[in-house]
Structure 1
Amino acid sequence: MAKVMIYSSDWCPFCIRAKNLLSSKGVAFEEIKVDGKADLRAQMVAKAKRTSVPQIWIDELHVGGCDELFALERAGKLDSLLAS
């Protein structure tokens, strides 16, 4: 199974949706909460070149945010990425 990492915020509905999708597939993920943690948010921005949460990686692939994760699911590509 692929390693999944997600930068998130407790109050972000898009983070909740993304985590729920991953959980519904039985995928374990590392969650890095950036709420009130400027150093972790800066780390996320440096890696993703984006300021919004969630930011999701599957192995070394930066998937993007919630919309991109769901687009992969709709296209039937998410399961194969997660299985790698």
Structure 2
Amino acid sequence: MFVSYAMNVAQMISISVAAYVLGLPLTYENLWYYVIILMVGVLLFSPFNYRYSRIILLYWLSPGLNYDPEKAKNQPQKQDGV
């Protein structure tokens, strides 16, 4: 969750800087243009953020967390609800 939040913040900053560099001045009149551009960017990048934030969290931020097949064998089996 924290990783996807950080990725969203970084993407929003980069999208707003790109919009400013491409000629959209940051004024009160253009505020809604920035909001719309940022929301579209967040929606377009949401699958990317979801996928790669989980990868970053699992493999970079908690590398000691591994699958243990012995623990899986000792777990009771789930039965389908009756």
Flag the structure with larger Rg. Answer: 2
Q: Which has the higher helix share?
A: 2
- TM-score between both structures, scaled by the size of structure 2: 0.27
- TM-score between both structures, scaled by the size of structure 1: 0.26
